Structures are given as structure tokens and as C-alpha cells.
Amino acid sequence: MAEMIIDEMNGLDRNSLMKKLLAELPEIGEEAGLSSGEIGWRAGMPGDRMHQLAEGRRTMRWSEYMSILFVLWSDDKGRVVLDRKGLFPVALRNAMSVNRNDHVDRSDNVVKYKTHHNNSFQNKI
């Protein structure tokens, strides 16, 4: 399954997704009831970053795309708009929903963590 998800991710045209999001962000924000400044603030971006992106003085990074995507996805209206415009592709959703620890017994992790930290604590006494 992991190989399939990696193949899907490799097939994404990140540049096109970022350009499309940037071009449609004013409309998306309006429909979601959020200004671009509010979206940028919620995404943890410096105040003028969204303006620089909108004016073409900066190129959007994938991390910025993902941050904006999650801000909009966490908003009910934003989620509807993202779905309608195809800005959160199924391949990306699949990759984000993978549990990277599926193959590990969780109780085994807890035992290892407690054993390691108890030993560290005992060594300091």
C-alpha cells in the first residue's frame, strides 16, 4: 500500500496545485469568509507573506501550500470549496491519512519507552 501511495504522490503536479491555489485564494477565502491575511495568519505565515505571494514577488513553497490547505480544510466552508476546486487531491489525502506506525504493536512502544526512561532515571540516582 505504501508503494501505491508514493507512486500517487510522485504523480502529483505540485507546481500546478500551488499556482491554482494561489490564483483562486481570494475567491476561496471570500467563500469561506476568511481574508487572505487571516488564512496566512492561521497558517503561521509572516504578515506580508500572503501579499508577496499574491503579487508574484515570492514563489509558494510546498510547506506553505500544505499549511494553507490545512487551514482551509479545518473550516467547514473552506473544505467544501477545496473539494469543489480539486485542490486537495485524493492522492494527497491518502498520503496524509497513512498511519506510519501501523506495523508496530503500540503496547511494545510503550514498554520500550518506559524501560528506556526508567533506566535513564535509575542511572542518574
Give per-residue pLDDT as tens, 68-83: 999 998 989 998 998 8
Q: pLDDT below 70 — which residues of the chain?
A: 1-2, 4-11, 98-125
How far the first Cα of the chain sits from its last, in Å, is 47
Q: What residues make up the domain containing 37?
A: 2-100
Q: What is the pLDDT of residue 20?
A: 92
Domain total of the chain: 1
Other Cβ atoms less than 10 A from the Cβ of 96: the count is 13
Residue 89 belongs to some domain of the structure: yes
Residue 109 belongs to some domain of the structure: no
The CATH number of whichever domain residue 65 belongs to comes to 1.10.260
Q: Do the Cβ atoms of 69 and 39 come closer than 8 Å?
A: no
Q: What is the pLDDT of residue 21?
A: 92
Residue 110 belongs to some domain of the structure: no
Residue 118 belongs to some domain of the structure: no
Write out the three cell numbers for 38: 487571516
Q: What is the pLDDT of residue 43?
A: 94
Q: What is the pLDDT of residue 51?
A: 87
Q: What is the pLDDT of residue 121?
A: 47
Residue 106 belongs to some domain of the structure: no
Residue 78 belongs to some domain of the structure: yes
Residue 123 belongs to some domain of the structure: no
Residue 41 belongs to some domain of the structure: yes
Q: How far apart are CA 108 and CA 74, in angstroms?
A: 33
